Every structure is written in C-alpha cells, then in structure tokens.
Amino acid sequence: MSDSSSDALGPVEWTVTQQQIDQYAAISGADDPLHVDPAFAATSRFGGTIAQGLLMFGQLAELLVRQAGDAAMTACVTLDVDFRGPVRPGRTVRLLGERAAQTQSSSYALTCTDAEAKLLLQGRGSIGREPG
C-alpha cells in the first residue's frame, strides 16, 4: 500500500486485452457487440472493439482505493468521471491521480491517457471519512 499522504497516484500503465473485456462482459452482462464482437465492432465508427467504460472506471477507482491503505478500505468513496475517448484492446493506457485538495477527505484529479497523451477518461475522486 502507498503512503496515504502522497500527492500522486501512479502512474500505472495497463494494457487491456480482448480476453479481459470478454471476462468483464461475462460477469457484468455488459456484452454489447461493440465490446465483444470484433466483426460487428469493425463496422462501427470505432473500427473495432472497445473496453466497457465501467471497466476503465473500475480501474481508475482502484488507483484511488489502493492509495487509501488498509485503515481506509471501508471509507466512503466518491468518483465523478467523464469518458472522453474509447479504450481499445491491445493499447496501453496510463492511469494517474494528482492531489486536488486535503480537507476531510483526500481528493484527487484522475486521468487515463493513451500513448499519445490523449485524454480518455478525466475526473476526480475522493476517499472520505469512514461511514458511521
């Protein structure tokens, strides 16, 4: 676990695979052909399959939660993320958090970018006090 006073989360590099997308589809039900059917997705405006937005959202959240340390594992977690671009299998993305504020919670600006530094996800997340 990282030091909870750190000003940065990551960066973490991650390459999503079609197998991971398929596995996530199996457990969540997010089996839209845009995610799991390469032939269908090839005819879409994306030109191929893309990862489920909530799969990437979970990855970004994990970056934040990992920071919190064991003592804060059961604390309130708040996230607000815009999806700016698709994440394609085989492409490596970079997940990063930068401290935004330190009040009652630890708040971070969160980003996911591709190899060309294009923003794919952008938002903020915080871990607050433990629930009563």
Partner 1 sequence: MVADLPELTFDVLTQGHIYARRRYDITADLIDAYSMAIGAPRRIVARPHSEAGAQLAPPTLPAMWTPPRICCDRWRIPVGGIHTRQEWQSLAPVFAGTVLDLELELVRKWIERERRFVLFESRFRDASSALVACGRMTVLWPK
Binding residues for partner 1, rule: CB under 8 A, are 14, 20, 23-24, 27-30, 32-34, 53-55, 57-59, 61-62, 65-66, 70, 73-74, 76-83, 130-131
* Residue 34 half-sphere exposure toward CB, CA atoms < 13 A: 11
Least distance CB 37 / partner 1 (angstroms):
11
Q: Which is nearer to partner 1, 54 or 109 (CB)?
A: 54
The tokens for 46 are: 């994306």
Least distance CB 64 / partner 1 (angstroms):
9
Output the CA–CA distances (angstroms, integers) from residue 33 to 39, 54, 91, in the order listed: 9, 16, 19
Contacts of 5 (CB under 8 A, 6+ apart): none
Least distance CB 23 / partner 1 (angstroms):
6
Q: Which is nearer to partner 1, 27 or 117 (CB)?
A: 27
